[in-house]
Amino acid sequence: MGITGSITASNKTYDASTAATIATRSLSGVLGTDAVSYAGGTATFGNKNVGTGKTVTGTGLSLSGADAGSYTVNSTATTTANITALGITGSITANGKTYDANTAATIATRSLSGVIAPDVVSYVGGTASFNNKNVGTGKTVTATSLSLSGADAGNYTVNSTATTTADITALGITGSITANSKTYDANTAATIATRSLTGVLGTDAVSYTGGTATFGDKNVGTGKTVTGTGLSLSGADAGNYTVNSTATTTADIAAQGITGSITANSKTYDATTAATIATRSLTGVLGTDAVSYTGGTATFGDKNVGTSKSVAATGLSLSGADAGNYTVNSTATTTADITVLGIAGSITANSKTYDASTVATIATRSLTGVLGTDAVSYTGGTATFGNKNVGTGKTVTGTGLGLSGADAGNYTVNTTATTTANIIALGITGSITAGNKVYDGSAAATILTRALAGVLGTDVVSYVGGVASFGNKNVGTGKTVTGTGLSLSGADAGNYTVNSTATTLADITLRSLTVSATGVNKVYDGVTAATVTLSDNRVSGDVFTDSYSGAAFADANVGVGKPVSVSGISIAGTDAPNYSANTTASTTANIAIAGTTALATATAGSPQYSDMATFTATLTPASLGSSGPTATSVTFFVGTQNMGTVSLVAGGGTLTATLTTPLLEPVPFGASPTLQMAPGSHAVSAVFGGINPNFSVTNPSTSLTISPEDARATYTGALFASTSSASSGAATVTLSATIQDITAVTGDPAYDANSGDIRNAKVTFINRDNSSVIASNLPVGLVSASDTKTGTATFNWNVDIGTASSQSYTIGVIVNNYYTRNVSDEDAVITVSKPLSDFITGGGYLLLTSSAGLYAGGAGTRNNFGFNVKYNKSNTNLQGNINTIVRNSGRVYQIKGNSMTSLSVNATSTSTGTAVFNGKASIQDITDPLSPIGIDGNATLQVTMTDAGEPGTDDKIGITVWNKAGGMWFSSKWDGTKTVEQLLAGGNLQVRSSSVASKGVTTASGAPIAESAEPIPTEYAMFQNFPNPFRVSTQFRFDLPERSRVRIGVYDILGREIASLADGEMDAGRYQRSWQGVDRAGRSLTAGVYFLRMQAIAPDGAKKLVATRKVLLAE
């Protein structure tokens, strides 16, 4: 059937071609709802030139669509459109010039930007001028009345004015100066007297100013060159000129007058008037000038001795590098002294016998140094020894000596003089007495008193030294004592001589002897009998023996340092008559305890952490006689942890104790000691208590191997995450898992009733696809402070899918440390995709029923919330915030987040859908709003929701906040392993996606397409589906290089498999499959985002492929 097609065309700006763009297409005559479109073809203007209502002709037009084959249509169509002129830009350059007092400028070059080749267009006409007449660089030049010319000028518009820059350079003129003369001042500074300029134009206001002037050097001279530097121009027109910055002239420097002075040296009288100049100085020398006062001779007024005598110098002058710049006086006067001449006097003295005085007699006198025949004598004075004591060559000092004679006034002499002489010692007599002593085994005696006869006056002399001895060592009365080696001491001893031996009488009496006993230790035997060894304090070398008749302990009991009594002590032998001895003594000794045998055992095998374990200890013997039990109790330790204390029970001569207890660490969690129940080998010790002091007990030890407790892991983190923008492959995925002690999982084959503390578990998230660890040894925190069997671990995984639009990952949860779990049954599939133009918003409240976490909301309390999360218009940045309030036991907590890391939306219609978003959140206690208390500033947030449509009464939401150190701060509704969504008690949620425009479902069979016969590929590959988006059916290809196990599934954004497209062994080859948008039951799926995931593994496992492709099902 024939129908008519028509078109419209878009206006365009001139582009030098006849190409036109078809704007719209329409068909007239299509029947009913037939799917027919007017498609294809190209359109052109009649010519390229600017014009309005120009004819446009479309050719090659045809039909497309499911019903196109039922119609025919015209293949050409005409319409009209406009071509408007193209704006282009003209620019110029201008020539620089030397300042000439006007603004006229000359255009140097002209150019056009935007002309389409090979169009003929030129930039012409116009005049140019500077913005002002003054000198400057890069000065603005403006051209006006510019226009276009050329064959194609009519197709363009251009600016009629243009600007550029050019320079106006300054005019050079000449400056000169004169300078003032000066008196020498040690510097080169000069003063400019006058200034003048040559070459200034007309009446321009220009002055030669500034600068400084200097002489060529500082020295005196006439017609010396002066140079001015730093000279410049000033005045209203100065900027239009340049001038020499230096200029020269001449001037004079006259000499400076200064004053010279001297000092003269004093001298010892020498019978002449000659004097010596000591110092010279100048007053008036400038700065550091090198000038010296030199030459000349000096004389005293006469030769005689005197003070401050006048000295005159003549013939003085200047010298030095700067002497020529000064004048000075040639004569100067000063004063100096002539002093007397010193000579030396000496004496000799007579020796004497010691007389207790220092008086000495001068024997002779003499002088040295007297000049010529001068009449001078050494007279007067007295002499003394240095002290009264005996000695040879002792110093004698004469004092009060002086000069006499006609010439004595011209000399000075020493008034004291020394010489030497001898004092001879005086003989005296000494005597002694001796003290009685107790026998000490030697003949030694002690001098008791000493006396001297013949000592003069108050001289200090003592009879000292020497030793004294009895005739023999034995006891006796009136025994002769002889002293030898006696001598004198004291301040005056050296002035005397004395006898060195003397005799007297004294007694030796009996010595008291102490006999001591040392006890011999023994093992407890029930009797008091003791054994000792004797010793005494006899004089070394004396000959006799000690003995005793009996020794006994105070009692028979075990003890250390127990008293022992000794009786019947006596002595006999050669030296015994010299002693009197004790007959009794006491000492101490030990009675040692009896030995025992101890043994400890622990549960055999390797019990798990938190399981019951049995510890046993035995001790032999149980007792001895009537001594009572060996011990009463035993305490068992694993490492340093006290496991408990039990009583010992006797049986068959052995004491036995048994303790059965769980292998748990102290509470509260983290209390010392820690790590004693960690899996591995541990030392076990048994410490006995109530030990009988008559027995020695060694605490026994053994070992215990503890194995990890069973745990169960449930992945609760995000199953879908979006990248940070449509152009970025980077995404943050919140991985979380609920970890349970096996006692929390009733009915599990591994269940046991002995629970541990799940905080002793560590969690590792692993990418099962490549066995790479994502995060290891993450801490586990409690969901509820009252439940130590269930905890959570979380980690924000930064992943990059590169250029792919979507990528899936198999995430495994491994539990270790005190617990163990690592099975693929608990793996989760997580999909990361680039975002569509999705957004979510909502607000309201929940009435909490089963909230969990360390900051759980109280049952029946409101959990208010509000949020808004979306991508910006270019899908490059995820923006949003959430604010939620939690109440419990009178406390109010606020959770706020404004750093969103991921948003996943599955819109099932224009008004319904599900979504998940993740981000960072802060937690505060706001009970007192004026003093909020921070709890966590970097917690991990996840919110899941279901928008069930208006008015929101069936909407659901779930909010989870994890602790960054492990554990969970808050869950809005906890089912024991994860947060589940809860119906709103008030409010509304909205989930929207650009991928859903209207409600609609299309079904298809989903049957696979036959494989191709192309060559066998060399690598695994999975290609993107086409078409994408699709409504009815989409196809995709994949390559297998060898026979492989292949599994292909379709997953929703929550990671659930909803359809299986392949599952089994497949030969090598190239394959093609299709999917009609239905689930495994053949039910049509709602429009949204889905994921094709393919896994292929070679039989030997050496090669494999895991690939994911994002599929958009449109309505």
Last residue of one domain, picked from the residues 592, 621, 642? 592
Least confident of 181-190, 491-500, 991-1000, 1096-1105: 991-1000
Nearest to 959 by CA among 976, 975, 980: 980
**Residue 1008 within any structural domain of the chain:** no
pLDDT of residue 723: 81
How many degrees, rounded to 5, is the angle at CA 453 between CA 450 and CA 459?
Answer: 90
Is pLDDT at 268 greater than 60 in this prediction? yes
pLDDT in tens, 847-857: 999 999 999 99
* Cβ atoms < 10 Å from Cβ of 893: 23
Q: What is the pLDDT of residue 1026?
A: 79
Lowest mean per-residue pLDDT among 91-95, 277-281, 1029-1033, 1037-1041: 1029-1033
CA 150 to mean position of chain CA atoms: 73
Q: Quick one: 359 and 392 in the same domain?
A: yes
User: Residues 6, 60: one domain?
Assistant: yes
Of 254, 274, 298, the residue at which a domain comes to its end is: 254
Domain contains 671: yes
Residue 228 has pLDDT above 80, yes or no: yes
The secondary structure element, H or E, covering residue 1086 is none
The Cα-based distances of 107 to 122, 123, 161, 1017 in angstroms read 15, 12, 12, 70
Q: What is the mean pLDDT of residues 812-833?
A: 83
CA geometry: angle 161, 167, 169, nearest 5 deg: 150
Question: In sequence order, what are the beta bridge partners of 589?
Answer: 562
C-alpha to C-alpha distance for 851 and 982, rounded to whole angstroms = 11
Question: What would the DSSP string read from start to end of 883-928?
Answer: EEEEEETTEEEEEEEEEEEEEEEEESSSS-EEEEEEEEEEEEE-SS
pLDDT over 50 at 24, yes or no: yes
Of 1107, 963, 994, the residue nearest 1040 (C-alpha): 1107
Q: Phi/psi at 758 (nearest 5 deg)?
A: -65, -15
Residue 480 reports pLDDT greater than 90: yes
Residue 163 — pLDDT band, cuts 50, 70, 90? very high
The mean pLDDT of 778-803, rounded to a whole number, is: 91
- Please give the pLDDT value at position 271: 62
> d(Cα 263, Cα 1111) in Å, to the nearest integer?
116
Looking at residue 214, what is its pLDDT? 96
Q: For position 174, what pLDDT does the model report?
A: 93
- pTM greater than 0.95: no
Looking at the fold, whether 630 and 563 belong to one and the same domain comes out as: no
CA trace torsion 551, 555, 556, 562 (10° rounding): -70
- Tokens 């006007």 identify what position? 102
pLDDT tens digit sequence for 387-412: 988 999 999 999 999 999 887 877 89
User: Position of tokens 């003890």?
Assistant: 559
887-912 pLDDT, tens per residue?
999 998 999 988 888 887 877 776 78
Is the domain of 617 the same as that of 702?
Answer: yes
Q: What is the pLDDT of residue 997?
A: 35
In a domain, 630, yes or no: yes
257: its two tokens: 């007058």
Q: What mean pLDDT do residues 348-352 have?
A: 91
pLDDT for the residue numbered 109: 95
Confidence grade of residue 719 (pLDDT, cut at 50, 70, 90): low
Report residue 546 as tokens.
């000690």
The verdict on 158 and 215 lying in the same domain is no
**Structural domain of 478:** 427-509
Q: Is there a single domain that holds both residue 774 and residue 847?
A: yes
Q: Same structural domain for residues 872 and 943?
A: yes
Do residues 690 and 729 share a domain?
Answer: no
Task: Say whether pLDDT at 1101 is over 90.
Answer: no
Q: Does residue 1007 belong to any structural domain of this protein?
A: no
- Tell me: do 875 and 776 sit in the same domain: yes
Residue 69 DSSP code: G
Asked if the structure places residue 247 within a domain, the reply is yes
3-state secondary structure of 824: helix
Residue 526: what pLDDT? Answer: 57
Residue 1007 has a pLDDT of 29
* Residue 1003 resides in a domain: no
Last residue of a domain, one of 403, 424, 445: 424
> Does pLDDT of 523 surpass 80?
no
| Mean pLDDT, the chain, whole residue set | 88
What is the DSSP-derived secondary structure letter of residue 238? G
Which of 47-51, 598-602, 901-905, 953-957 is predicted with the least confidence, judged by mean pLDDT?
901-905
Alpha-carbon distance of 625 to 622, in angstroms, equals 10
**Closest by CA position to 60, among listed 35, 36, 77, 80:** 77
Q: Where are the beta strands (DSSP E) in 34-153?
A: 37-45, 51-64, 72-73, 77-84, 86-87, 89-94, 97-98, 104-105, 107-113, 122-124, 127-130, 136-144, 147-149
Token duo for residue 570? 């006596």
Instruction: Output the six-digit token pair for 581.
Output: 């001895």
pLDDT, tens only, 269-305: 776 789 999 999 999 899 898 999 999 999 998 876 7
Q: Which of 218-227, 407-416, 688-697, 1068-1077 has the highest mean pLDDT?
A: 218-227
pLDDT surpasses 80 at 720: no
Mind listing the pLDDT tens digit for each residue in 1011-1028? 334 578 888 899 888 777
- Categorize the per-residue pLDDT at 693 as very low, low, confident or very high, splitting at 50, 70 and 90: confident
What pLDDT, on the 0 to 100 scale, is given for residue 54? 95
Buried (b) or exposed (e) across 289-321, using 16+ Cβ within 10 A? bebbbeebebebeeeeebeebebbbeebebebe
Beta-carbon contacts of residue 1102 (< 8 Å; ≥ 6 apart): none
Q: What is the mean pLDDT of residues 51-69?
A: 93
Q: What confidence tens digit (pLDDT) does each residue in 330-342 have? A: 899 999 998 888 8
Asked if the model's pLDDT at residue 1002 lies above 70, the reply is no
CA triple 119-123-124, angle to 5 deg: 130
Whole-number Å distance between alpha carbons of 78 and 304: 147
Residues 626-665 have pLDDT tens digits of 666 888 999 999 999 999 999 999 988 899 999 999 999 9
Domain annotation covers residue 757: yes
Task: Based on the fold, state whether residues 217 and 284 are members of the same structural domain.
Answer: no
Per-residue confidence (pLDDT) for residue 1006, from 0 to 100: 29
Question: Alpha-carbon torsion 435, 438, 443, 444, what sign?
Answer: negative
Please write the tens of the pLDDT for every residue from 170-184. 988 999 999 999 998
Look at residue 18 in the predicted model and tell me its pLDDT.
Answer: 93
pLDDT tens per residue across span 482-491: 999 999 999 9
- Across residues 921-949, what is the average pLDDT? 90
Q: What gap in Å lies between CA 184 and CA 900, rounded to an integer?
A: 86
Structural domains counted in the chain: 10
∠ CA 9-10-15, nearest 5°, is 115
Give the three-class secondary structure for 154: helix
Phi-psi bin for 457: left (phi > 0), alpha (psi -120 to 50), beta?
left
pLDDT band at 316 (very low <50, low <70, confident <90, very high): very high
What's the confidence (pLDDT) of residue 1034? 86
Confidence label for 525 from pLDDT (cuts 50, 70 and 90): low
192 vs 246: CA distance, rounded Å: 12
Name residue 480's beta-bridge partners. Answer: 505
CA distance 765 to 739: 12
Give me the pLDDT at residue 875, please: 67
Q: Do 600 and 734 lie in a common domain? A: no
Identify the band that residue 230 occupies on the pLDDT scale cut at 50, 70 and 90.
very high
Instruction: Evaluate whether residue 175 is within a structural domain.
Output: yes
CA distance 672 to 668: 9
Question: Using alpha carbons only, what angle is made at residue 739 by residues 709 and 731, rounded to the nearest 5 degrees?
Answer: 135
CB atoms within 10 A of CB 674: 15
Give the CA distances from residue 508 to residues 437, 472, 505, 618, 675, in Å, rounded to whole numbers and listed in that order: 5, 10, 11, 71, 80
Do 948 and 1044 belong together in one domain?
A: no
